[in-house]
Amino acid sequence: MKVLLTGASGIIGSVILKQCLQRPEITSVITLTRRPLPSTSPKCENIVVRDFKHWDSGLLDDIADADAMIWAMGTSGGNEEPNLNYPLAFQQAFLPTQKSPGKRFRFIQLWRTRRARSEPQSLVPQQRAEDQGPCGNQVCGVCGTA
Ligand SMILES: NC(=O)c1ccc[n+]([C@@H]2O[C@H](COP(=O)([O-])OP(=O)(O)OC[C@H]3O[C@@H](n4cnc5c(N)ncnc54)[C@H](OP(=O)(O)O)[C@@H]3O)[C@@H](O)[C@H]2O)c1
């Protein structure tokens, strides 16, 4: 399984990277960062992305065979560029590269949900619509699902 990962230089992303590298079913991890990331494993390749809003076709060709994207880029303050505009731009550029019938590509975005203090904080999207991350509805629109 080939996994794409953004935010690998961050607190959450660096832990996800370690976990991915330890799992035998994940055969390859491509980290997409704005600054070069030192290599930690032969299983891991780093690609520096100059502009997360404009994904060039050469880069898309290199990552089109990936099985999943883990989007751990973002700020806890919910900065619109890394939390919303960049992941949407990725999805819009990446979707047309997925031409094999039946192939499933999983997109997971880390998002800190805001809940009442009595409720546990969550790192992953839950069932509630407001927990699906900043681009939950837009993602559905891009993918053409309800
Ligand atoms: N930390 C938590 O306890 C926690 C809990 C739940 C959810 N989350 C969510 O998880 C996500 C990551 O949190 P974190 O704590 O790991 O944050 P972090 O340590 O500040 O890391 C943020 C990551 O995003 C990248 N990034 C931020 N702005 C960017 C931009 N404009 N362009 C390109 N890359 C950018 C950073 O790259 P650079 O290294 O190049 O700056 C870094 O890799 C956030 O959305 C946050 O809300 C965090």
Binding site membership of 7 for ligand 1 (Cβ less than 6 Å): yes
What is the per-residue pLDDT for 107?
94
Question: Does 37 map to a domain?
Answer: yes
Rounded average pLDDT over 26-47: 95
> What domain range is 17 assigned to?
2-59+69-112+121-143
What is the per-residue pLDDT for 115?
57
Ligand 1 nearest-atom number relative to CA 83 = 45
Distance 123 CA to ligand 1 centre (A): 12
What pLDDT, in 10s, does the model give residues 103-144?
899 999 987 766 555 555 544 444 444 555 556 555 544 544
What is the number of domains present in the chain? Answer: 1
What is the per-residue pLDDT for 77?
82
Ligand 1 nearest-atom number relative to CA 7 = 43
Question: Does 44 map to a domain?
Answer: yes
Distance 144 CA to ligand 1 centre (A): 28
What is the per-residue pLDDT for 65?
95
* Probe residue for ligand 1, chosen from 90, 110, 131 as the CB with the greatest number of ligand atoms within 8 Å: 110
pLDDT band of 59, cuts 50, 70, 90: very high
Contact 105, 67 (CB under 8 A): yes
What is the per-residue pLDDT for 24?
97
Question: Does 64 map to a domain?
Answer: no
**Mean pLDDT of all residues belonging to the chain:** 84
Question: Does 87 map to a domain?
Answer: yes
Rounded average pLDDT over 44-55: 97
